[in-house]
Each structure stands twice: as C-alpha cells, then as structure tokens.
Chains A and B, each alone.
Chain A
Amino acid sequence: MNLSFLAIVSLACALGAAIILVGYLTRRPALTGMVKVWLLLGLGVLPIGAAASGNLQGYETTKQRSFCADCHVMSPQVSDSNDPHSGSLSSRHSRTALFGAENCYVCHEDYGMFGTVLTKADGMKHVWLYYTQYLHVSAEAAKSRIHLYQPYPNESCMQCHSTTDTIWQSVPDHTAALAAVRTNQVSCASVGCHGFAHPNARPPVAP
C-alpha cells in the first residue's frame, strides 16, 4: 500500500479522534469542562482535519488513471494508455509529464469556468451508469456501447496546442483547416487528422 502524505495526515487525524471517542464511550466521564475540550478535539478539530485532508486526497485520487481503471469497462482504454508501444493519442499523451498518470482527467476535463464541478458531476453520472447498466457487461461488449456525449472539443487540445505557433501553422493541413479547428467543425481527434484517441473510440452519439 502506497499512502500519500495527505492520506497519512487523514488517517492520523482519524486515529486520534477515534482514540478520544472510544475512550469517552468506554470510560463515560462526567461532562466537565476538560471533557468537553477533549470532545471538541474528538468530534471537531481532528475529524475536520481528517475530512479536509481526506477530501483533498479523494479529489486527487479521482484524477488518477488507476481510478478510472476500477470500472472494468474502461480496461481497454486504460490498457492502451499504459502500453508504451501504442501510438494512440491517449498513450502518447500519457508518456508526457504534464499528463502522466492523470491523462484521462487532463484530456476529459471541462476547461470552462465551472469545469471542475461539471467534470466531477459527469464522473458521478459515469459511476451511476456503471452500476446500473455496465456492471455485468463485458469489457469487449462495452466497447460497442460506450461513446462520448458530444464531439471531443478542440478547446481541450488547444490548452497546450494553441494553434498560433508558427511551427504548428507551417503544417499545410493545419493552415487549411485553421478556422474549422478553432470553431470545432473539424476535430483534432478525427480519423485522417490525429485520431482516434483510443483504439476502440467511436463517434459521439446524442444521449
């Protein structure tokens, strides 16, 4: 088990609080001022510390590719990302430091003003769909069912590939499709350009 610093802090706070609470429940002392101070630690300060560090750790955990891989229907995508010899967009990006083990999240994150919240809300939807529709579907069968809600937005690619760089613009196909790329009429991840992003990727289907 490889625990991060935040996880250790959270567990230490939880352990401290648990010791105080179990001690109170077993010894049952009179409610003096000092007992209330101990309970403030056991019910307030330490649990808040455990929850705060636990939430931060939980948030970081949900960004990891290994977290996405917990749903078996994601295993083809994750296996491809993990494959150092794969030439897919997702695999190539996972080999860069910026994306690394968080490449699923970095690519599929909504970059709008409320992007983080919207991305997490979508993630909750995926968990719901997994447990209600995909739990007993094989990864192979799920390949033909899983799809994007909407065309992959080029804005996500343009977080790094700005389309204003001279090297980028020196590619004739880029120059020809510049307006279409910036307005999402042509997807960077489409066949003939740089896609698909995953070996089993399918065009988006309206929900």
Chain B
Amino acid sequence: MSWWKRLVGIPSKRVLDLACVVALVALVLISWSMVDPRPIPVILAMSVGQVLGTLSFAAFLVVVVRDLRRAQLNDVSSERGSPAERPAPGEPSAPSPPAP
C-alpha cells in the first residue's frame, strides 16, 4: 500500500492548494451556467461542477481530520513522555501542551 502512504504523506498545504484550484474551477462552471443558461453550461455545472466541488470539500475535510488526529497523537505521546510524533515535511508542528 505504498500509494496510500504516499497519499497520506502529501503535505496539507499542497492538498489545500489543489482543493482551492479545483473549487475555483467548479465555481466558474456554476457561475457560467447562471449567466449563460444553455444546455451545455447547465449540464456541466450540475455534473462536473458538483463532482469537483464535492472533491475539493472532501479534501479539506481530510486535511482537517488528519491534522486533528495528528494533534491528538502528539498529545497522547507527550502525556506518556515519549517524543512527539514528527509532523510531515512542510507541516507546521502541532502546538505544545500548556505548561502545568
């Protein structure tokens, strides 16, 4: 499952950059169908636009869940006294727990 590891290892910023571009394409398609309501723009907006928009939002959710999980793992490891999990390259490190 090397492809999965590679997919999970993609930095959050890169995923979000891609999601933003894909979402912009979807928004252009939707807007096009509003100002030019002919069959092709309307069909593209209601099919390709929907799929691209959903994919970009799903990518955002994946990043948020992944970051939350990483922060959670960091908390657990710091409570046990083991070294904190290292963030992926290009990722900001998770905030350290407040001093007691």
Contacts and interface: CB of A to CB of B under 8 A. Distances in A.
Query: Which label, helix, strand, loop or mixed, suits the secondary structure of the A interface?
Result: helix
A71 B39 contact: yes
Interface in B4-33: 12-13, 16-17, 19-21, 23-24, 26-27, 30-31, 33
A17 interface: yes
A153 interface: no
Considering residues B12, B20, B56, which has the most beta carbons from chain A within 10 angstroms of its beta carbon? B20
Interface string A1-26: 10100010011001101100110110
B23 A42 contact: yes
B37 A50 contact: no
A125 to B, nearest CB: 12
A44 B58 CA distance: 9
A168 to B, nearest CB: 38
A17 B37 CA distance: 21
Contacts of A201: none
B16 A39 contact: yes
B46 interface: yes
B49 A21 contact: no
29 contacts: A7-B35, A11-B34, A11-B35, A15-B31, A21-B24, A25-B17, A25-B20, A25-B21, A31-B13, A31-B16, A31-B67, A31-B92, A36-B64, A39-B16, A43-B20, A43-B23, A43-B59, A43-B60, A47-B23, A47-B26, A47-B53, A47-B56, A50-B30, A50-B31, A51-B49, A58-B37, A67-B39, A70-B38, A71-B39
Given A47-B57, A61-B33, 20 more contacts: A3-B34, A3-B35, A7-B35, A14-B31, A17-B27, A25-B20, A25-B21, A36-B64, A39-B60, A42-B23, A43-B59, A43-B60, A44-B57, A47-B27, A50-B27, A51-B30, A51-B53, A58-B37, A62-B42, A67-B39
